[in-house]
Amino acid sequence: MTKEYHIPVLLDTSIEGLNIQPGGIYVDLTFGGGGHSREILKHLGREGRLIAFDQDADAWENAPEDDRFTLVKHNFRYLQHFLDYLGIEKVDGVLGDLGVSSHHFDSPERGFSFRFDGALDMRMGPGIELTAADIINGYSENQLFSIFKLYGEVPSCGKLVRAILAERNNKPFRSTADLRNLAQTVAPKKDVNKFLAQVFQALRIEVNREMEVLEEVLMQMPSVIKPEGRLVVIAYHSLEDRMVKNFIRSGNFAKSQADTDLYGNRDVPFKAVTRKAVQAGDEEVKENPRARSAKLRIAEKL
């Protein structure tokens, strides 16, 4: 069941990156099919603990029966809150494997994939208000332009946005097929599928506020992770990876330069363990094409 739900990406490197202490407390921010979580549990001793988050009810079915394991069925933006609730002051490592699982793309009714017809929804969890249809039917021209450009890097997205505005005046978009059919008319002929994937990705990121929640959770890392504890993040989008990279280098997102104290010492909460992002090798990409865009970064708390 789990293998079909999602094949974990960069499994060995991410687990090594966590440098798991058998008696330590770890957090998996993105439980999904539980591939990474199960591997963490294998490295933990009897005293170890793993707290995993997933906001998507489908993922909850994959939770292992293990008394060292706790699944928090909420958005990981509430990490600090739930650690307080569980009486945990600090943890030894945090893993985030961002975005959606393969299961999401394979479930037509969730609306994540242009390959199937389904409701234009894309909400990962119950607390999310706007659906993809609300955005397509309700956002202004400028708002639509920004999300397609920023989150999808959609080429000539002005054309797409104008086509959406004209179409929705006739009738609102309801299904993934409505959007796909319209987007196909403005897609570059040589790479229609890539174009559609970019359009759908942009909407998914906006629906689930993925950039916002990543920023929120990263800001919690300095107070949540113990000195010498590890932060391991796998990102699939260049904006997310840049956010993680800047955060590790400088402790903030606006710039990759760290603040310095009065004596010129760099004032940063983490040091990078790997200088560059780690990417999947050819063999892994061949077996799991999803791994192609993955960038993994490892940092240690100072």
Toward ligand SAM, which CB reaches closer, 63 or 213?
213
Per-residue interface string for the shown chain with ligand SAM, residues 75-94, x marking contact by CB under 6 A: xxx-----------------
In the complex, the smallest distance separating the C-beta of residue 172 from ligand SAM, rounded to whole angstroms, is 27
Region 192-231 residues binding ligand SAM, contact defined as CB under 6 A: 213
In the complex, the smallest distance separating the C-beta of residue 88 from ligand SAM, rounded to whole angstroms, is 18
DSSP H or E stretch at residue 105: helix 102-105
Toward ligand SAM, which CB reaches closer, 35 or 93?
35
Question: Does the footprint of ligand SAM cover residue 120 (CB under 6 A)?
Answer: no
In the complex, the smallest distance separating the C-beta of residue 151 from ligand SAM, rounded to whole angstroms, is 14
Question: CB of 5 within 8 A of CB of 102?
Answer: yes
CA 170 – CA 168 distance, rounded (Å): 5
In the complex, the smallest distance separating the C-beta of residue 141 from ligand SAM, rounded to whole angstroms, is 28
DSSP H or E stretch at residue 297: strand 295-301
- Total interface residues for ligand SAM by CB under 6 A: 22
Question: CB of 239 within 8 A of CB of 271?
Answer: no
Taking CB under 6 A as the binding criterion, the range among 71-79, 187-195, 241-249, 276-284 that sits at the site for ligand SAM is 71-79
Amino acid at position 90, single letter: K
Among 54, 206, 240, 284, binds ligand SAM (CB under 6 A): 54
Question: Does the footprint of ligand SAM cover residue 177 (CB under 6 A)?
Answer: no
Among 52, 79, 91, 124, binds ligand SAM (CB under 6 A): 124
Amino acid at position 27, single letter: V
Question: CB of 71 within 8 A of CB of 44?
Answer: no
CA 201 – CA 113 distance, rounded (Å): 9
In the complex, the smallest distance separating the C-beta of residue 244 from ligand SAM, rounded to whole angstroms, is 14
Phi, psi of 240 (to 5 degrees): -65, -45
Question: CB of 232 within 8 A of CB of 295?
Answer: no
Toward ligand SAM, which CB reaches closer, 64 or 155?
64
Taking CB under 6 A as the binding criterion, the range among 18-26, 52-60, 255-263, 272-280 that sits at the site for ligand SAM is 52-60
CA 226 – CA 224 distance, rounded (Å): 7
List, in order, residues 6 or more apart from 268 with CB less than 8 Å away. 249, 250, 251, 258, 302
The binding site for ligand SAM (CB under 6 A) comprises 6, 8, 30, 32-36, 53-56, 59, 75-77, 97, 99-101, 124, 213
